[in-house]
Structure 1
Amino acid sequence: MSDTVRDYQVIIVGAGFAGVAAAQRLAKERIRTLLIDRNNYQQFQPLLYQVATAQLAANDVAAPLRSLFRKHPSVRVLTAEVSSIDARDRSVTLPDGTVFRSDVLVISAGAEVNYFGTPGADEFSYPLYSVDDATALASSLVEQLDRADTAAATHGDCEPIDVVVVGGGPTGVETAGAIGETIERVLPHYFHDAVPRRCTVHLVDHGDTVLKPFSEKLQRYTRRSLERLGVVMLMGTGVSEVRADGVTLSDGSTLPAHVVVWAGGLKARSVVASAGLETGRGGRVDVDADLTAPGVPGVYVLGDAANIPDGSGGTLPQLGSVAMQSGKWAGRNIVADLTGGQRRPFGYVDKGFMAMIGRMSAVAEVGPKRIELTGPLAFASWLAVHAALLPQARARIGALASWPRDYLSRSRSQFVVGNRPR
């Protein structure tokens, strides 16, 4: 038997950047809001690769939702999986049959990894979209290093350790760079010389360059920086199969791998398709300029669940800054809906793109005029922006304490013990 709860003015499905930003705006107006997420924390996805490489602890990128809203009793946090969404009824159903209904429904359910039907990718590769993903990858890397170290101690040498990163976008570049720098700068201080000497990182992408949205100048800088860290670049070839012992490339050749990291793309979570809304590229909903679902009153779609128009015939990129700004904007529009005001088209403030490559090495295109930054200046800008975006003061303090240790010294004790399975 299901229970129907009708006393919420707003239901928000998903507590990512967009969902939390919308809930925080509604909290200021004391609007009765139900925020549902399968996790009881908000995760800062742009820094998950740093958890995987032990530059940050998992707690530094995960903010407890109830802590975020403890001073806002109008927002109720519910930790639950949503099994289906009925957009026209503005209701959601949980696996036990419980139904919640509201005046306004916000779908910000986030994304899931898109393996593009690649055989074995789901089973044998590590995605990087959740804290659990990051800690699982970290544990696998440490396990491989321990095995190699044991072999070096008992036999005098060890088998090669190959890591393959699939995808040349920001996640793939940052992950490959972080692992490459760890091999070059950190491992020699913790493991026998034979171990880091036998480690290789490969970056594979079917495109002809890395960081496709960036300028050619920044792409060239990124490629040179990765190669200096020992990353082997395999551009213009895709991965057609992932196996337990490596990958098969689109040209039929094979590449051995002990660890495969999948950074090849995302798509909207499958629950979005259950909502009864028309979906477009990436399984996302093509929303109107005011962030509402076309033809369905009282429904907003945000973040990785939405294709948001950029005002010139295209759509905005799937960035954390877009999600956060759209959440705040949707919150204001929802307040207008509930108080008889007027909704306004979303006005995105373009802050550009950034990607970290390694110590004192990053690229950035800042602002609508795309001012290009490289090296230490881009590196400092990346640190400042990401520290400011972390959801809690505690997380900012943790990051600001960890980063100087990681980038100015060669110490990274979490890589050795902090992310081991328990």
Structure 2
Amino acid sequence: MAETYEVIVVGGGFAGIEAAKKLGRAGVRTLLVDVHGYHQFQPLLYQLATAQIGVSELARPLRSIFRNQPSVRVLTARVSAVDPERRSITLSDGTVYEADDALIVACGAEANFFNTPGARENAYPLYSATDATRLGSELVALLDQADKDTGQKSMNVAVVGAGPTGVETAGAIADAINYVVPKLFAGGLAKRCSVALVDMVDRTLGGFSEKSQAYAASRLVERGVRLKLGSAVTEVRKDGLSFADGATMDADLVIWAGGLKAGPLLRESGMPQGRGGRVDVGKDLTAPGYDGRVYVLGDAANITDDRDERLPQLGSVAKQSGAWAARNILAQRAGRPTEPFGYKDRGYMAMIGRGSAVAELGRSRRLVRGPAAFMVWLAVHLALLSGASQKARALVSWIFTYLSHTRQHVFVGSPEQAAVEEGADRPAA
């Protein structure tokens, strides 16, 4: 017989954490399940990959988060199946849990390679701490190889996807080449390194204003990033990229920031799926057809605002949706109706590199850029980090990195080891 809880939350990301915290404060018997035993702050993964911060800054143990909420049980396990009809989940070992009141599915997403030949095999995604560690290890290995090569070997990096993740990653790697590599390696290695940012659309930072897009592009070019926009990648090879316009590009390392899609857990759940394989949820964040007792949140959901505009896959959307879903569940338990999601739009922002960022604040999209936006970005992300120790360590790392032009973090293990671990840990939840 299946063990029951009042609410089951699948996924320990922004949405799942916020929902479980609110339910825990209300004393609701809740089960939170995640394949990892920690919450990871995904907006800073590119900084982990470029050694600006360490794992301890962006990851926090789930049990530490809920240590003062005894009604929330944290379970580290892989969810292999979700049954929305029964509001149940099945773990990889066959154990089944059922929810009396509500099931929350906030299982995140995975890289969307859009069936591009060679992308899954040859490109590095950036969606988890393991992805970031693997990427960072490969970057260091390539630099070491180029430094030792008497034939003056180069290191060429290509980032696919010119959205916020791609822009931030390309900018961070360019900064590392410009500021860090000359101090770590001799022989003019920095001059033999290059970074390219490519996308099928003809602009960076889609969804931002034209002024922000132009600013980001100009600052990237100033850092030495080569832009190839307006042509789709048709193949990812071990030695580079091919494009729809017939062009090719040499690359020793390809980073995939080309978008996300729902994982197999959602695909096999039977819930109706929309764009990106995500569930098109109702105004109250529930999946259609399950009596208002199944909520889908975060990167697993297509959520709209009060103007029926689709909200982006942002941490702020996930956090707010998690808290709102918990609020609606508490209302249902008290016999009150649920309410439409009231998203508070705080705008968009992206870090371009050292001292450069763009921020479009609030619903009016008030534009801030340059050093002021850089400081806003730091303040917002510091506030969003989970845990006082994580905030303190991140602040120290940022100050040290900015003032010293060096990196204090290292990668332990080879890229191959990280790849094996990632294959074993690829989450179903």
TM over 0.5: yes
The alpha carbon displacement at 1:420 in A equals 5.0
**Matched residue, 2:261:** 267
What's the offset of the Cα at 1:216?
0.5
Shift of 1:53: 0.3
Match of 1:382 among 359, 377, 382: 377
Most deviating of 238-247 and 219-228: 238-247
Contiguous gaps of at least 5 residues in structure 1? none
* Structure 1 residue 410 displacement after superposition: 1.1
Q: Secondary structure at the match of 1:138?
A: helix
**Residues 24-103 of structure 1: matches in 2 within 5 Å?**
24-103=21-100
Ranges of 4+ aligned residues in structure 1 off by more than 3 Å: 417-422
Secondary structure at 1:34 match in 2: strand
CA contact (8 A) 2:198 2:228 kept: yes
Q: 8 Å contact 1:171–1:263 — kept in the other structure?
A: yes
- Between the aligned partners of 2:187 and 2:346, the Cα distance in structure 1 is 43
Tell me whether 1:398 sits opposite 2:393 in the alignment.
Answer: yes
Task: Deviation per CA, 1:92-125: give whole Å up to 9, x if none.
Answer: 1112221110121001110101000011111111
TM-fit CA distance, 1:409: 2.1
Partners of 1:265 and 1:92 in 2: how far apart? 27
* Equivalent residues of 1:118, 1:240 under 8 A apart: yes
Judge conservation of contact 1:160–1:199 (CA < 8 Å) in 2: yes
Instruction: Tell me if the contact between 1:268 and 1:283 (Cα under 8 Å) persists in the aligned partners.
Output: yes
Return the alpha-carbon distance in structure 2 between the equivalents of residues 150 and 236 of structure 1. Answer: 36
Conserved? CA contact 1:32–1:75, under 8 Å = yes
Partner of 2:137: 139
User: 2:233 touches 2:244 (CA, 8 Å); kept in 1?
Assistant: yes
| Preserved CA contact (<8 Å) 2:137 2:411 | no
Query: Is it true that 1:229 corresponds to 2:220 in the alignment?
Result: no
Contact 1:54/1:419 (8 A) holds in 2: no
Query: Aligned pair 1:365/2:363, yes or no?
Result: no
Q: 1:175 to 1:403 in 2, by over 3 A?
A: same
1:239 to 233, 242, 255: 233
Of 174, 190, 204, 2:184 maps to 190
State the distance in 2 between where 1:144 and 1:163 align.
10
Q: 2:75 corresponds to which letter in structure 1?
A: L
Cα-to-partner distance string for 1:188-218 (whole Å, 9 max, x where unaligned): 1110132111000010000010001111111
Q: Deviations over 1:20-43 (max 9, x none)?
A: 000000000110100011111111
For 2:164, the equivalent position in structure 1 comes to: 170
Q: Which amino acid aligns with 2:216?
A: T
Question: Counterpart of 2:21 in structure 1: which amino acid?
Answer: Q
Instruction: Tell me the secondary structure at the aligned position of residue 168 of structure 2.
Output: helix
Match of 2:16 in 1: 19
* Paired position in structure 1 for 2:194: 200
The letter of the residue matching 1:310 is D
1:214 pairs, out of 192, 205, 208, with 208
Return the alpha-carbon distance in structure 2 between the equivalents of residues 278 and 211 of structure 1: 30
Contact 1:36–1:79 (CA<8 Å) still a contact in 2? yes
Pick from 93, 111, 114 the counterpart of residue 113 of structure 1.
Answer: 111
Long gaps (5+) in structure 2: 418-429
Shift in Å, 1:252: 2.5
Specify the alignment match of 1:410 in structure 2.
405
Other-structure match for 1:257:
251
Q: Match for 1:257: what amino acid? A: A
| Matches of 2:270 and 2:95, distance apart in 1 | 19
Contact map agreement 2:11 2:34 (CA 8 A) in 1: yes
Q: What CA RMSD, in Å, does the superposition of the two structures yield over aligned residues?
A: 1.1
| 2-structure distance, mates of 1:233, 1:398 | 34
Partner of 2:298: 303
For residues 213-237 of structure 1, give each alpha carbon's deviation from its aligned partner in whole angstroms, at most 9, with x where no partner exists: 1111111110010001100000001
Alignment TM-score, normalising by the size of structure 1:
0.96
Contact map agreement 1:149 1:192 (CA 8 A) in 2: yes
Q: Quick check: 2:306–2:342 contact (8 Å CA) kept in 1?
A: no
TM-superposed deviation, 1:419: 4.7
1:128·1:134 contact (CA, 8 Å) conserved in 2?
A: yes
Offset of residue 147 of structure 1: 0.7
Q: Distance in 2 between matches of 1:227 and 1:279?
A: 39
Q: Which letter does structure 2 place at the counterpart of 1:187?
A: V
